[in-house]
Amino acid sequence: MTQVFTTTFFLLATSWRIVCIVLIGAPLLISLFVIRNYIYETPRFHYFKQHYAEAKDVLNKIAKVNRRPPITARLYGEQGQEAEEGTIIFPKRHVPPEVQAIAKGDFTGYLDLFKDKQLRKITIFLLYVWFFRNFAYYGLNFSLPSLGTEVYRNFTIAAFAEIFANLTADIINKRFGRKLSLIISVGLVSLSCLLIIFFPIPDECYLAVEGCYQKKVSIISAIVSFCF
């Protein structure tokens, strides 16, 4: 939806300064107000810092949004006498392992993904896959002017293709599973990008009104790439 709005605004705007103010400057200023008033630190962060009152306050705001009763229990590790209406959420006789880890300062970080041999192999492979998926995505965005048609039309086509992809991604994942969906997606994007190499657009086609088949091939390949 953002790309559809951006394309429409580009066609109506008369100056690049207006585009920067409306699409970049103003939204950033508004985001400061949003962050200040509507974005909260996670309860987990407050708990790590032993800010129990702040953690409980955020939890109660989450409970309010989800139409749940407010939390009256005391958090494990919270100082002071136990309130009459509350009880300790995790009594000492039954403390979950993750809470014990927090109390001991034994945290799991990103570096732990590389400690175990098998886990390290999986992590490297996933990084490889997602790096080149994102690389292909940004490459397609940067190559929009060279697809052989008018740049705004290309941008709009890509926008609607991404809307289709976002609407169908969850359905495809549930239908075929995450692994098979990723295989299909990577395979189609790879074939689409390679297909463009074998159908280069001649210079005379860029100026042609009716266009040529190389343009159509490049546009279809780009649509498939953006959809998957």
Q: Read off the pLDDT of residues 68-83 as tens digits, 9 standing for 90 and up.
A: 888 887 777 775 534 4
Percent of the chain with pLDDT over 90: 0
- Whether 72 and 83 have beta carbons less than 8 Å apart is answered as yes
Percent share of the chain, pLDDT over 70: 77
Q: Is the pTM of the predicted complex or chain greater than 0.85?
A: no
d(CA 22, CA 146): 27
pLDDT digits (tens, 9 = 90+) for 88-138: 554 455 555 555 555 555 556 778 888 888 888 888 988 888 888 888 877
Amino acid at 177: G
